[in-house]
């Protein structure tokens, strides 16, 4: 009996935003391990280059590219260069997001509101539009949006962030419905509390952490690597009949 090739990504080009650390870095490594050429991206090239170098040192294929997804011109520029360099894109992982303010909803600052919307909604949207245009030319593609459990159950003092993550889940269904005809699938991942810099204010505070663990049946936070397997499923032929879904990887929190 031969092993399955359902999870192989040989010959695929994958773009991962926010791949310089945390969940995005873990996703970049796993997609490369499965054969994809991974475009490792975040705002800072010097954060992405070591991740791309580590992938290449391990025998994989990777390129580091800077792109602030809150800046529309940078999105345009990065897709111009993907078109020139690769001529195609098979997998987009919209993973980079922001959560600049932790406060009661009544204290939401308008600049924090704007930044969160610009990155988490507008950024994901126009990254998906540009990727979708390239994927349409090829008649195939997979877009994976990293949302959050906060999309379903708003996090304490994370009002605008939670609202943008709910928008990402709806956006996922929009692209799934309208782009299926072009061979493009679009799915969302809803991570639970994961041990990264992003979540350090929650994970490193014993009071907050213990309160959070009460609500997680598996009684621990996730390692970033535990998010990557679900993304590989959604990126690969293993999920060829899955589109428009929101996959919880949350230790049972939303159950
Ligand atoms: N950690 C959790 O508990 C948790 C739970 C649910 C959902 N999530 C989601 O998981 C995703 C990844 O979070 P993480 O925990 O891995 O965060 P992280 O460790 O802080 O990493 C964030 C990444 O995004 C990049 N980034 C930030 N703003 C950006 C922008 N405007 N444009 C492009 N890149 C940007 C950062 O690099 P630069 O600084 O170089 O830009 C970094 O590579 C996010 O969508 C987050 O909402 C996380």
Residue 2 belongs to a domain: no
**Count of domains in the chain?**
1
User: Is 47's C-beta closer than 6 angstroms to any atom of ligand 1?
Assistant: yes
Q: What is the CATH number of the domain that holds 131?
A: 3.40.50.720
In the reported structure, the alpha carbon of residue 4 is separated from the centroid of ligand 1 by a whole-number distance in angstroms of: 32
d(CA 20, CA 96): 10
Residue 239 belongs to a domain: yes
In the reported structure, the alpha carbon of residue 21 is separated from the centroid of ligand 1 by a whole-number distance in angstroms of: 8
User: Is 42's C-beta closer than 6 angstroms to any atom of ligand 1?
Assistant: yes
pTM of the complete model: 0.99
> Do residues 190 and 151 lie in contact, with contact meaning Cβ atoms separated by under 8 Å?
yes
Residue 154 belongs to a domain: yes
Residue 5 belongs to a domain: no
Residue 8 belongs to a domain: no
Taking only the tens place, the pLDDT of each residue in 42-51 is 999 999 999 9
Taking only the tens place, the pLDDT of each residue in 161-211 is 999 999 999 999 999 999 999 999 999 999 999 999 999 988 999 999 999
Residue 209 belongs to a domain: yes
With vertex at residue 89, the alpha carbon angle to CA 81 and CA 54, rounded to the nearest 5 degrees, is 75
Domain residues for the domain of 57 are 13-248
């Amino acid at each position: 009996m031969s092993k399955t090739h359902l999870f192989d990504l040989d010959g695929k080009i994958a773009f991962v935003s926010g791949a310089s650390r945390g969940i995005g870095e873990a996703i970049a490594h796993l997609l490369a391990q499965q054969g994809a050429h991974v475009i490792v991206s975040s705002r800072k090239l010097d954060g992405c280059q070591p991740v791309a170098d580590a992938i290449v040192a391990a025998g994989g294929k990777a390129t580091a590219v800077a792109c602030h997804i809150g800046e529309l011109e940078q999105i345009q520029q990065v897709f111009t260069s993907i078109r020139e360099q690769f001529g195609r894109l098979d997998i987009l992982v919209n993973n980079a997001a922001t959560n600049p303010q932790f406060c009661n909803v009544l204290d939401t600052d308008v600049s924090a509101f704007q930044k969160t919307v610009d990155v988490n909604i507008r950024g994901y949207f126009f990254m998906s539009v540009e990727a979708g245009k390239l994927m349409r030319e090829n008649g195939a593609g997979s877009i994976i949006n990293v949302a959050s459990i906060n999309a379903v159950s708003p996090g304490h003092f994370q009002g605008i962030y939670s609202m943008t993550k709910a928008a990402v889940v709806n956006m996922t269904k929009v692209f799934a419905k309208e782009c299926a005809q072009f061979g493009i699938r679009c799915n969302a991942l809803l991570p639970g509390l994961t041990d990264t810099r992003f979540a350090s204010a929650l994970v490193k505070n014993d009071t907050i952490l213990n309160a959070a663990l009460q609500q997680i049946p598996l009684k621990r936070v996730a390692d970033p690597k535990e998010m990557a397997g679900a993304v590989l499923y959604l990126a690969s032929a293993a999920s060829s009949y899955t589109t428009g879904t929101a996959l919880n990887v949350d230790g049972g929190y939303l159950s």
